[in-house]
Protein backbone atom coordinates (compact mmCIF):
# COMPACT_ATOMS: atom_id res chain seq x y z
CA UNK A 1 0.00 0.00 0.00
CA UNK A 2 1.17 3.51 -0.77
CA UNK A 3 0.98 6.12 1.99
CA UNK A 4 0.57 9.57 0.45
CA UNK A 5 0.26 13.04 1.98
CA UNK A 6 -1.77 16.01 0.76
CA UNK A 7 -2.55 19.38 2.27
CA UNK A 8 -6.20 20.25 2.09
CA UNK A 9 -9.77 19.60 3.05
CA UNK A 10 -10.66 15.99 3.78
CA UNK A 11 -14.24 16.60 2.64
CA UNK A 12 -13.02 17.31 -0.90
CA UNK A 13 -10.91 14.19 -1.36
CA UNK A 14 -11.84 12.06 -4.37
CA UNK A 15 -11.32 8.64 -2.76
CA UNK A 16 -13.47 5.60 -2.07
CA UNK A 17 -13.74 6.42 1.64
CA UNK A 18 -12.87 9.23 4.02
CA UNK A 19 -12.12 8.60 7.67
CA UNK A 20 -13.95 10.71 10.21
CA UNK A 21 -12.41 11.40 13.61
CA UNK A 22 -15.71 11.09 15.45
CA UNK A 23 -16.77 11.21 19.06
CA UNK A 24 -18.29 8.19 20.81
CA UNK A 25 -21.86 9.39 20.30
CA UNK A 26 -21.50 9.50 16.48
CA UNK A 27 -23.83 12.49 16.17
CA UNK A 28 -21.49 15.10 14.72
CA UNK A 29 -19.22 17.52 16.52
CA UNK A 30 -16.40 19.94 15.82
CA UNK A 31 -13.23 19.74 13.74
CA UNK A 32 -13.06 16.96 11.14
CA UNK A 33 -16.30 15.46 12.47
CA UNK A 34 -18.24 18.70 12.04
CA UNK A 35 -16.77 19.32 8.59
CA UNK A 36 -17.67 15.82 7.35
CA UNK A 37 -21.22 16.04 8.69
CA UNK A 38 -21.69 19.53 7.20
CA UNK A 39 -20.32 18.61 3.78
CA UNK A 40 -21.97 15.18 3.67
CA UNK A 41 -25.36 16.54 4.62
CA UNK A 42 -28.10 14.97 6.73
CA UNK A 43 -27.69 11.50 5.17
CA UNK A 44 -24.45 10.98 7.15
CA UNK A 45 -26.09 11.74 10.50
CA UNK A 46 -29.20 9.73 9.62
CA UNK A 47 -27.02 6.71 8.82
CA UNK A 48 -25.00 7.18 12.04
CA UNK A 49 -28.20 7.18 14.09
CA UNK A 50 -29.56 4.12 12.26
CA UNK A 51 -26.35 2.04 12.21
CA UNK A 52 -24.87 3.13 15.57
CA UNK A 53 -27.73 3.84 17.97
CA UNK A 54 -25.34 3.56 20.92
CA UNK A 55 -22.28 5.06 19.18
CA UNK A 56 -18.87 3.41 18.97
CA UNK A 57 -16.17 2.56 21.50
CA UNK A 58 -12.83 4.35 21.57
CA UNK A 59 -10.48 2.69 19.06
CA UNK A 60 -13.29 1.18 17.00
CA UNK A 61 -14.51 1.95 13.47
CA UNK A 62 -17.70 1.67 11.47
CA UNK A 63 -18.99 2.99 8.17
CA UNK A 64 -21.87 5.05 6.85
CA UNK A 65 -22.86 6.59 3.58
CA UNK A 66 -20.87 9.66 2.57
CA UNK A 67 -23.97 11.59 1.56
CA UNK A 68 -22.96 14.56 -0.59
CA UNK A 69 -19.19 13.99 -0.25
CA UNK A 70 -17.17 12.91 -3.32
CA UNK A 71 -16.29 9.68 -1.47
CA UNK A 72 -18.67 6.73 -1.41
CA UNK A 73 -18.31 5.95 2.31
CA UNK A 74 -17.34 7.58 5.59
CA UNK A 75 -15.42 5.34 7.97
CA UNK A 76 -15.93 6.74 11.46
CA UNK A 77 -13.27 6.12 14.10
CA UNK A 78 -13.26 7.20 17.73
CA UNK A 79 -9.81 8.28 18.81
CA UNK A 80 -8.62 8.47 22.40
CA UNK A 81 -9.18 11.75 24.22
CA UNK A 82 -6.01 12.46 26.20
CA UNK A 83 -7.75 15.29 28.04
CA UNK A 84 -10.18 12.67 29.41
CA UNK A 85 -7.35 10.37 30.54
CA UNK A 86 -7.31 8.06 27.49
CA UNK A 87 -3.54 7.71 27.05
CA UNK A 88 -3.22 4.16 25.71
CA UNK A 89 -1.49 4.47 22.32
CA UNK A 90 -3.04 1.14 21.26
CA UNK A 91 -6.42 2.90 21.15
CA UNK A 92 -4.98 5.39 18.66
CA UNK A 93 -3.33 2.80 16.41
CA UNK A 94 -6.50 0.71 16.55
CA UNK A 95 -8.35 3.56 14.82
CA UNK A 96 -6.12 3.18 11.77
CA UNK A 97 -6.04 -0.63 11.68
CA UNK A 98 -9.81 -0.90 12.26
CA UNK A 99 -10.46 1.71 9.54
CA UNK A 100 -8.39 -0.38 7.11
CA UNK A 101 -10.33 -3.52 8.11
CA UNK A 102 -13.63 -1.72 7.46
CA UNK A 103 -12.27 -0.43 4.13
CA UNK A 104 -11.41 -4.02 3.20
CA UNK A 105 -14.96 -5.15 4.08
CA UNK A 106 -16.34 -2.42 1.83
CA UNK A 107 -13.92 -3.04 -1.03
CA UNK A 108 -12.51 0.50 -0.73
CA UNK A 109 -9.09 0.83 -2.33
CA UNK A 110 -8.36 4.52 -1.64
CA UNK A 111 -8.91 5.98 1.82
CA UNK A 112 -8.27 9.52 3.10
CA UNK A 113 -7.32 9.84 6.78
CA UNK A 114 -7.08 12.82 9.10
CA UNK A 115 -4.62 12.82 12.01
CA UNK A 116 -6.84 11.12 14.58
CA UNK A 117 -6.86 12.64 18.09
CA UNK A 118 -4.24 15.29 17.22
CA UNK A 119 -6.67 18.21 17.53
CA UNK A 120 -9.03 18.89 20.42
CA UNK A 121 -8.38 15.41 21.88
CA UNK A 122 -4.84 16.54 22.67
CA UNK A 123 -2.63 13.73 21.36
CA UNK A 124 0.90 15.09 20.75
CA UNK A 125 1.17 15.77 17.02
CA UNK A 126 4.55 14.10 16.53
CA UNK A 127 3.32 10.85 18.07
CA UNK A 128 -0.02 11.07 16.25
CA UNK A 129 1.90 11.27 12.97
CA UNK A 130 4.22 8.38 13.90
CA UNK A 131 1.27 6.23 15.01
CA UNK A 132 -0.61 6.92 11.77
CA UNK A 133 2.30 6.28 9.40
CA UNK A 134 3.59 3.20 11.26
CA UNK A 135 0.15 1.60 11.52
CA UNK A 136 -0.79 2.32 7.92
CA UNK A 137 2.50 0.84 6.71
CA UNK A 138 2.33 -2.33 8.80
CA UNK A 139 -1.35 -3.30 8.73
CA UNK A 140 -2.21 -5.95 6.13
CA UNK A 141 -4.91 -4.57 3.80
CA UNK A 142 -6.29 -4.56 0.28
CA UNK A 143 -6.28 -0.72 0.32
CA UNK A 144 -3.86 0.55 -2.33
CA UNK A 145 -3.65 4.20 -1.20
CA UNK A 146 -3.85 5.56 2.34
CA UNK A 147 -3.89 9.33 1.96
CA UNK A 148 -3.05 11.41 5.02
CA UNK A 149 -4.79 14.76 4.66
CA UNK A 150 -2.98 17.55 6.48
CA UNK A 151 -4.83 20.62 7.64
CA UNK A 152 -2.22 23.35 7.18
CA UNK A 153 1.22 23.55 5.62
CA UNK A 154 3.22 22.98 8.82
CA UNK A 155 1.33 19.75 9.52
CA UNK A 156 1.80 18.72 5.88
CA UNK A 157 5.56 19.28 6.18
CA UNK A 158 5.71 17.27 9.42
CA UNK A 159 3.77 14.31 8.01
CA UNK A 160 5.72 14.34 4.74
CA UNK A 161 9.03 14.23 6.61
CA UNK A 162 7.93 11.10 8.49
CA UNK A 163 6.56 9.43 5.34
CA UNK A 164 9.80 10.14 3.43
CA UNK A 165 12.04 8.97 6.28
CA UNK A 166 10.52 5.51 6.37
Distances (CA, A) of 107 to 52, 54, 82, 95, 111: 21, 26, 32, 18, 11
Catalytic residue, from 16, 33, 47, 60: name it: 33
Q: Is 88 a catalytic residue?
A: no
Cβ neighbour number for residue 58 with a 10 Å cutoff: 20
Distances (CA, A) of 147 to 48, 57, 58, 67, 101: 23, 24, 22, 20, 16
**How far is it, in rounded angstroms, from Cα 89 to Cα 141?**
21
- For the annotated catalytic residues, the residue numbers are 33
Amino acid sequence: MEVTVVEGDITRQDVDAVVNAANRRMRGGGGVDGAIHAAGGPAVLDDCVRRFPHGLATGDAGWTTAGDLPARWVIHVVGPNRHAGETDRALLTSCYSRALAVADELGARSVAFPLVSAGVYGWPKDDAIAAAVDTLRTTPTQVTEARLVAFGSSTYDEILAVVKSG
